[in-house]
Amino acid sequence: MSDSLNALGRYVRARRGVVLPEEVGLVRQPGRRVTGLRRQEVAELAGISAEYYLRIEQGRIGRPSEQVLSALARALRLDDESIAHMHRLVAGRPPQQVAPDPAVAERIARTLSRWYRTPAYISDPQRDIVASNALAAALGHGGLAVGVNQVAALFNPRMKSTLVEWEAMTRSAVATLRRDAHPDAPRLAELVRELSADPDFVRIWARHDVSGPEDTTFHIAIEGFGEVAIDAHNFAVRSLPGYQLTVLSAAPGGMAETLFTGLAASGPLTAGPTAGVSASGADPA
């Protein structure tokens, strides 16, 4: 039984658990205790036998055909990112992790430091922030500064109580962690171990999400400003595989713009240092 087939089995099992019957045209019968789909239902939707599907979940078959994988993707309502992840699992090809070129890293860090009115930061595949400008470092509970883990920060009790879209934002952040981090990276194991003390993390991690909105608007309660709407945009860094650039922006005339302007005008913010990008998550060994 290969590791890749075990991984595929865990993935489809987790995904059927989050697909609601109503989403695939099934009628939820009174007294149904299963939240997601039953194995039999997935098999029928995919056009394969229940026994064959059970063997897939248990990792007891060879590599499924492309036709079967496509049928499972349709049955489980997988998007393009999730389909790509499923194929990586089957092929046993985890995300590529390479040490960043120091020259490239320095140029990116220098660029961020020149964005005085736009909060921005870069996180590595384990979502540790490795470069951040001064305005980003001043935001949030404890700031989005170098050394902060983007995912762990979301499980802070204050973030849970002040971030209106906490569930959706956290699912998306955890999804990028699973998508980009090498499954054998020591830092990933450390994070999962630490965060597993929180039942919310255990629940969200068990979904095996690997995709979420790259562009969204979230609302957060900030003392002295009230509820502030902030736009968030996430970009892959082509020269640094697995790294992500997050840029925050504000609609003209809104409270967020007032907040950003006020923070940018303060002395320490306009002069705050920006660290260079590190290779902290590059070695999966």
Helix or strand run (H / E) with residue 236 = strand 226-236
Give the integer Cα–Cα distance in Å for 98 and 241.
7
31's tokens: 């007294």
How many other CB atoms are found less than 10 A from the CB of residue 217? Answer: 13
Give the integer Cα–Cα distance in Å for 69 and 109.
41
Give the integer Cα–Cα distance in Å for 278 and 101.
9
Give the integer Cα–Cα distance in Å for 94 and 183.
7
Residues with pLDDT less than 50, the chain: 267-276, 279-285
Residue 140: per-residue pLDDT: 63
Domain boundaries, the chain: 3-91, 102-271
Q: What is the dihedral of CA 58, 1, 65, 204, to 10 degrees?
A: 50
Residue 93: per-residue pLDDT: 87
Give the integer Cα–Cα distance in Å for 49 and 54.
9
The DSSP letter of residue 62 is S
Q: So what CATH class is 102-271?
A: alpha beta
Give the relative orientation of helices 80-91 and 66-75 as an angle to the nearest 10 degrees: 140
CB 148 within 8 A of CB 129: yes
Residue 3: per-residue pLDDT: 75
Q: Which residues of 31-70 are buried (b: 16+ CB within 10 A; e: fewer)?
A: eeeeebbebebbbbbbebeeeebbbbbebebeebeeebbe
CATH tag, 3-91: 1.10.260.40
* Overall pTM surpassing 0.85 (yes/no): yes
Residue 268: per-residue pLDDT: 38
Distances (CA, A) of 89 to 59, 163, 175, 189, 245: 12, 33, 15, 18, 25
Q: Please report how many Cα atoms fall inside a 13 Å half-sphere around the Cα of residue 102, on the Cβ side.
A: 0
Residue 274: per-residue pLDDT: 39
Give the integer Cα–Cα distance in Å for 143 and 158.
13
Residue 78: per-residue pLDDT: 97
Contacts of 2 (CB under 8 A, 6+ apart): 59, 92
CA 54 to mean position of chain CA atoms: 29
pLDDT in tens, 44-82: 999 999 999 999 999 988 889 999 999 999 999 999 999
Give the integer Cα–Cα distance in Å for 9 and 56.
6
Residue 211: per-residue pLDDT: 92
Give the integer Cα–Cα distance in Å for 82 and 15.
10
Residue 282: per-residue pLDDT: 42
